[in-house]
Amino acid sequence: MDKREWLRREIGAWRDEGIVTEETAEALMKRYQPTERRFSWGVMIAGGFGALMIGLGVIALFAANWDCFGRPARAAISLAPVVLCGIAALVASAKGWKSMALWEPLGILWCIATAAGTCLVAQTYQVGGSVPGLILFVALLMLPAVWISRSVMAMALWPILAIVWTFAQRDIHPSSFALGFEGLGLMALSLPAYLVFLRREPGKAALVTGQLVTGFVYSLGAAILLLRAWPLDLYHSNASVLIFWGCSAMIAGAAAVFKLPVWPIVATLVASGAAMVTGVDRDSSLYVVSLVLALGVLSYGVRKLKLSYANIGAALLLWLILAKFFASHLDFTVKGLVLILSGAAITVLNVVFIRLRKRRA
């Protein structure tokens, strides 16, 4: 529950109990009324889709008449959207506008304009260089737009450029620890924007969306970069599972330090997804650890009455058991009956949980 909403309910209770007068309660209600920070999925989807369509439309419009302009005109046209987005950001900051309905599409449009403008200028003047160099240059130019706008989608998807940049250098550096950690450092450059985004106290929908996307991007991205840096092919080994577990533990630790309520469930999903590999791999020595992880998540969900954790733990436990079970030579009739019983067990678990939560409420 939002703090302001909780306070308004308390004020209403004070008024009903006679602790404060009607006039005092109304004055307090007006003082702590909800601010215009609400952010819905519709705003983000509509704003992002609109910004994407505008950006692609502008690119298509100039691409159709590109040959009619000289080099200076092409460069000016390429940079004009970037400059206009910067001016809009300055005006919005000076006016104190904080609505995500403005900043979300502006951030997306600003990033698209920066990437497109950079590529068009490089193509116009035939600038030499490598593909990794171009990706790194575009990423660094887009970073101010991410920092200033704090757009959820721009802020969350920017670290993907660090992953692309690292993998683009495969021919130059087939495997290098230094390159992997350089990619991690580049990906971490978007963290200041995320911290400012949290301090701005966005609405619940924006906060949940931002934490979900960034949690998966940071955890999976860090694991992929570490796998890229490893000198051996460990994509199907125990070491790869340990790397994903380590990255999920990093996300869980950051959630505890910065009080991010959504990142723990993201860390649980990433760790559980990595643990599923141990059920399929016959030579995995981490199978028992995965079973302990599944039981731990399940027991935590049962103890705290958190249905999401209970379902994740139960699903992982069933997967680990059934993966070994179906690898056996038992009859398919038996296997089918076991599947039916497993599905029924999950259903019963959810029904019992819902009743327990209603009883506690």
Per-residue tens of pLDDT for the chain, all 361 residues: 456 666 777 777 777 777 777 777 777 776 666 544 444 555 556 666 666 677 677 667 666 666 677 788 878 877 888 888 889 888 988 887 777 777 878 888 888 888 888 887 887 777 777 788 888 888 898 888 888 887 877 887 788 888 888 878 766 655 566 777 788 888 888 877 777 777 766 667 777 877 888 889 889 888 888 887 765 554 457 888 888 999 999 999 988 887 888 899 999 999 999 998 888 776 778 888 998 998 899 889 888 878 888 888 888 888 888 777 766 665 656 556 666 766 676 677 667 766 766 666 5
In a domain, 360, yes or no: yes
Distance CA 307, CA 294 (A): 14
Q: Is 187 exposed, middle or buried (0-12, 13-18, 19+ CB in 10 A)?
A: buried
133, 195 contact by CB (below 8 A): no
Q: What angle do the packed helices 177-187 and 159-168 form, to 10 degrees?
A: 160
DSSP symbol at 130: -
In the chain, the number of structural domains is 1
In a domain, 50, yes or no: no
In a domain, 171, yes or no: no
pTM above 0.85, yes or no: no
244, 223 contact by CB (below 8 A): yes
Note down the domain range covering 322.
255-361
In a domain, 339, yes or no: yes
Please, what sign has the CA dihedral across residues 348, 352, 353, 354? positive
| 330 phi/psi in degrees, rounded to 5 | -75, 165
The secondary structure of 243-296 as a DSSP string is HHHHHHHHHHHHHHHHT-SSHHHHHHHHHHHHHHHHHH-TT-S-HHHHHHHHHH
Q: Which amino acid is at 347?
A: T
In a domain, 75, yes or no: no
Which tokens is 267 given?
Answer: 């860390």
Q: Which amino acid is at 1?
A: M
Q: Looking up tokens 């599905």, which residue turns up?
A: 343
Helices (H) and strands (E) in the chain, counts: 16, 0
In a domain, 52, yes or no: no
In a domain, 170, yes or no: no
Q: Which amino acid is at 125?
A: Y
In a domain, 208, yes or no: no
* Terminal Cα-to-Cα distance of the chain (whole angstroms): 15
Contacts of 209 (CB under 8 A, 6+ apart): 41, 44, 152
Q: Looking up tokens 């590109």, which residue turns up?
A: 66
